[in-house]
Amino acid sequence: MSEVMIWTIVFVVLSFGLYMYIGFAARVRDTKGFYVAGQGVPAIANGAATAADWMSAASFISMSGLISTMGFDGAVYLLGWTGGYVLLALLLAPYLRKFNKYTVPDFVGDRYYSNVARAVAAVSAVFISMTYVAGQMRGVGVVFSRFLGLDINTGVVVGMIIVAFFAVLGGMKGITWTQVAQFFVLIVAFIIPAVAISMKLTGNPIPQLGLVFSDIVPKLNQLQVDLGFKEYTQPFRSRSMIDVICITFSLMAGTAGLPHVIVRFYTVPNVRAARYSAGYALLFISLLYLTAPALAVFARYNLIQTLHNKPLTEVRQLDWVNSWEKTKLLKFDDKNADGIVELKPVAKDSEITIDNDIIVLATPEIAQLAPFVIGLVAAGALAAALSTASGLLLVVSSSVAHDIYYRLINPKASEAQQLLVGRIVIFIAVVAAGYFGINPPGFVAEVVAFAFGLAAASFFPIILLGIFDKRTNSQGAIAGMLTGMIFTAGMIIMMRSVQLLGTATPIMTDFMGISAQGVGVVGLILNLVVTLVVSRVTPPPPAHIQEMVESVRVPRGAGSASAAH
Amino acid sequence: MSKQSAEERAIGYWKANISLIGILLAIWAIVSFGLGYLLANPLNGIMIGNVPFPFWMAQQGAIITFVILIFAYAKIMDGIDAKFDVNE
């Protein structure tokens, strides 16, 4: 067994042991503990938990590599997945905390005095969360297989057992405190290799400063031009400006509308804590999101320098090249048979193919860091996947057990019954997530566009108007939500019809220059317009609803109002 | 403050909140969509260190501004909450 494997096992066993201990220590006995952690989570701890909840296997493993390939245009993910927190902090979180219930469908159902709206919201929340969670479980399996040589399926099952343990026992409370621990594991694991490679390439230990004050960016731009690529920092080289703007805004509104992020703000003691906690969340998230673009530049420069225009036999002598070539994430194909591999802009001409996921996972090896750092990165990737999975599973559980079972089917259910149903549903959701992790539907990546598009076109506008427009009524909200969802889903299905419907070519390539990832913005605008117009030609909402809107706008009384639940 | 009715206070509080949100979201849009995207081509010659300014804004500067905006909102709202006597 190699030294890397031993370190990986040490870190994985230690971190998993810690999560299980925390899950056991934070076990709960009531629904308030199970769904909103008893509303006793301090602002800064909720910030760390939100950061871990938000940063998924994709943020940790894939994002830097994606940016590395996209250059400037990678900003869609960087801005989209951080800018949403400003919307959340200013427009949604404080008021939803004052509203003081357990779930997002709770707000939609109560504010629009409609069980139809509640059911639609609950079903979308389950759909969005299950879509996401399948990818997380797959991520767990992939990390286990690459670093420990385990079968991917065994890895998924191990991940399921860990999540099931602390989620079933501790609900939101167990999830919150394990997420706080997972945040520290993932951020340390992400930053240490980035600091080391920054030191090596720029002489500056702080990646953000190394990026700006060394000559790495001009050198990379020159390399790109020499190879026939556009400059790395050249704006809009892969997509038009309008598409870049729409994708960014869609991801921002989607982020603010994702139920697993919103519910984190129900767990803090008061409105003031909800505001600060959004600040801490983004501060903690920015530690990774400000490091990733620097890492992307360093890694691209390093890869070109190490691999391009080198004899194949020499390249294959590098240990990391060997091990990653085996995983098929790094491929060489000496097309002109001159014994030298070249990187070219057009994929079919290029003799080197690099999967985006390598960038983060192989950086420690490329930078020749100590084996324990590689073990740490494995533990960090697992922390990122498990923390996001557990937050999503809680939304599935609360939507089914609280919104559908308790609020719609059996309102007379006792506290003990509700808690039991909550635990059973979360267990079933873990098993279902594991099933999708082992048998991933071929279109997972396509479905993620759905999750953001639908959150942006349904939840975000409907919650926003619910707080800021007293006149918005049930008819308007339902019409708007359906318009936004049907338009967005229809557009994504047509643009991704090759993967989803099996057509030979996409039915539509874009909507007025906007691609599938950005079309949620159009759905959002349609939703807003339809909701506002329909609300104004139908009767205003009842007086008690208007009073409710007035009360969520004022911070005082958030702690005591929960007695009415 | 005591002369105002609770209703007037609530209206004043909400107005103050809306204008603050408006100002902060304008900054939010300018640093990301404005300086990062819309003006990316004309500003591409300006450098921060060795990096073009729009690139730096879109991948670093705007995110730093976002963090500051949220804390600024929380901090200023503490004062507005106290002024209109709606704090907890």
Q: What angle, rounded to 10 degrees, do the helices at A460-468 and A520-537 form?
A: 40
Q: Judge whether A203 is closer than 8 Å to chain B, CB to CB.
A: no
Query: A500: pLDDT confidence band, cut at 50, 70 and 90?
Result: confident
Indicate whether A135 pLDDT > 80. no
| Shared-domain flag, residues A96 and A199 | yes
Judge contact between A359 and A296, C-beta under 8 A.
yes
> Do the chains contact at B63 and A72, CB–CB below 8 Å?
no
Decide if B15 is inside a domain.
Answer: no
> Is there a single domain that holds both residue A232 and residue A376?
yes
Inside any domain, residue B9: no
Would you say residue A486 has pLDDT above 50? yes
**Co-location of A288 and A415 in the same domain:** yes
The reported pLDDT for the residue numbered B3 is: 54
Please determine, for residue A347, whether its predicted confidence score (pLDDT) is greater than 50: yes
Mean pLDDT of chain B: 94
- Contact between chains at B41 and A270 (C-beta distance less than 8 A): no
B2 pLDDT more than 80: no
Same domain, A406 and A324: no
Residue A526 lies in a domain: no
Same domain? For A326 and A391 the reply is no
Answer whether B81 sits within 8 Å of A555, measured CB to CB. Answer: yes
Q: What is the pLDDT of residue A144?
A: 81
Q: What is the mean pLDDT of chain A?
A: 91
The shortest CB-CB distance from B59 to any of A75, A90, A556 is to: A75
Chain A residues touching B50 at Cβ < 8 A: 212-218
Q: Which residue has the higher pLDDT, A502 or A250?
A: A250
Say whether residue A204 is in contact with chain B using an 8 A CB cutoff. Answer: no
- Within A367-414, residue ranges assigned H as helices are 371-397
Nearest chain B CA: its distance from A282 CA (Å): 6
Q: How many CB atoms lie within 10 A of CB A383?
A: 32
Which of B39, B41, B44, B55 to mutate to probe the A interface, most A CBs <10 Å? Answer: B55
Q: Kindly list the distances between the CA atom of residue A371 and the CA atoms of A309, A364, A375, A406, in Å, as whole numbers in the listed order.
A: 29, 8, 7, 51
For A231, the token pair is: 């400059």
Q: Is residue A170 part of a domain?
A: yes
Residues A279 and A153 in one domain: yes
What's the rounded mean pLDDT across residues A530-551? 96
- A140 is a domain residue: yes
> Is B44 inside a domain boundary?
yes
The pLDDT of residue A441 is 67
Average pLDDT for A50-75:
92
d(CA A391, CA A264): 9
Please check the confidence at residue A358 and state whether its pLDDT lies above 90: no
Nearest CA of chain B to the CA of A252: how many Å? 11
A482, A461 Cβ separation under 8 angstroms: no
Confidence of residue A35 (pLDDT cuts 50, 70, 90): very high
Which residue out of A46, A63, A275, A470 would a mutagenesis test of the B interface target, given it has the greatest number of B Cβ atoms within 10 Å? A275
Cβ-Cβ contacts under 8 Å for B79 (sequence gap 6 or more): none
Residues A347, A245 share a domain: no
**pLDDT, position A563:** 37
Decide if B73 and A211 are in contact by the 8 Å CB cutoff.
Answer: no
- Picking from B66, B77, B83 by the largest number of A CB atoms within 10 A of its own CB, the best residue to mutate is B66
pLDDT band at A561 (very low <50, low <70, confident <90, very high): very low
Q: What's the pLDDT at A565?
A: 40
Q: What are the DSSP calls for A70-87, one per residue?
A: HGGGGHHHHHHHHHHHHH
Position B8 confidence tier, pLDDT thresholds 50, 70, 90: confident
Q: Tell me: the pLDDT tens digits for A182-209?
A: 999 999 999 999 999 999 999 999 999 9
pLDDT value of residue B4: 67
**In the block, residue with structure tokens 């990062």:** B36
Q: Is residue B11 part of a domain?
A: no
What does the alpha-carbon distance between residue A101 and residue A31 come to, in Å, rounded to a whole number?
Answer: 11
Stretch A146-173: mean pLDDT, rounded?
86
Of A356, A383, A399, the residue that ends a domain is A356
- Closest Cβ–Cβ partner in B48, B58, B77 for A275: B77
A205 lies in some domain: yes
The three-class DSSP label of residue A340 is strand
pLDDT band of residue A142 (cuts 50, 70, 90) is confident
Tell me if A119 sits within 8 A of A404, measured CB to CB.
yes
- Domain membership of residue A516 (yes or no) is no
Write out the residue range of the structural domain in which residue A327 sits: 304-356
Place of tokens 């059973």: A424
| Enclosing domain of residue B68 | 28-88
In a domain, B13, yes or no: no
Please report how many Cα atoms fall inside a 13 Å half-sphere around the Cα of residue A372, on the Cβ side: 4
Instruction: Count CB neighbours of A410 within 10 A.
Output: 13
Q: Which of A443-452, A478-487, B4-13 has the lowest mean pLDDT?
A: A443-452
- Domain for residue A490, yes or no? no
Counting the structural domains of chain A, the total is 2
Tell me what the mean pLDDT of segment B21-44 comes to: 97
A338 and A267 in a common domain: no
Within this chain, do residues A349 and A402 fall inside the same structural domain, yes or no? no
B1 belongs to a structural domain: no
Q: How much of chain A exceeds pLDDT 70, in percent?
A: 97
Q: What is the pLDDT of residue A138?
A: 79
- A85 contacts B66 by C-beta, under 8 angstroms: yes
Q: What is the mean pLDDT of residues B50-59?
A: 97
Do A328 and A260 share a structural domain? no
Give mean pLDDT, residues B3-7: 72
Preferred mutation among A46, A54, A68, A72 to probe B, highest tally of B CBs within 10 A = A72
Whether B86 is in a domain gets the answer: yes
Across the range B48-59, mean pLDDT stands at: 97
Least confident range from A40-54, A269-283, A349-363: namely A349-363
Total domains in chain B come to 1
* Spatial contact of A241 and A72, defined as CB atoms under 8 Å apart: no
Q: Is the pLDDT of residue A465 over 70?
A: yes
Whether A341 is covered by a domain: the verdict is yes
Beta bridge partners of A329: none
Task: Name the domain boundary from A440, A458, A482.
Answer: A440
Report, as an integer, the average pLDDT of B42-63. Answer: 97
pLDDT of residue A320: 83
To the nearest whole Å, the CA of A327 is away from the closest chain B CA by: 31
pLDDT band at B33; cut points 50, 70, 90? very high
| pLDDT tens per residue across span A300-342 | 999 898 889 999 999 998 888 887 887 777 889 998 889 899 9
Which CATH number fits the domain that encloses residue A257?
1.10.4160
- Looking at the complex, does the CB of residue A235 fall below 8 Å from at least one CB of chain B? yes
Average pLDDT over residues A547-564: 76
Using alpha carbons, select from A121, A45, A476 the residue that is nearest to residue A280. A45
Distance of CA B41 to the CA centre of its chain: 25
Please judge whether A272 and B87 are an interchain contact, meaning their C-beta atoms are less than 8 angstroms apart.
yes
Same domain, A247 and A348: no
Tell me whether residue A529 is in a domain: no
Check whether residue A345 and residue A421 sit in a common domain: no
Contact predicate B1/B85, CB 8 Å? yes
- For A215-253, the pLDDT digits (tens) are 999 999 999 999 999 999 999 998 999 999 999 999 999
Which of B10, B17, B69 is opposite residue A86, by nearest beta carbon? B69
What's the pLDDT score for residue A476?
Answer: 96
Q: What is the mean pLDDT of residues A469-477?
A: 96
Last residue of a domain, one of A356, A377, A392: A356
Predicted pLDDT at A564: 40
Higher-scoring residue by pLDDT: A32, A358: A32
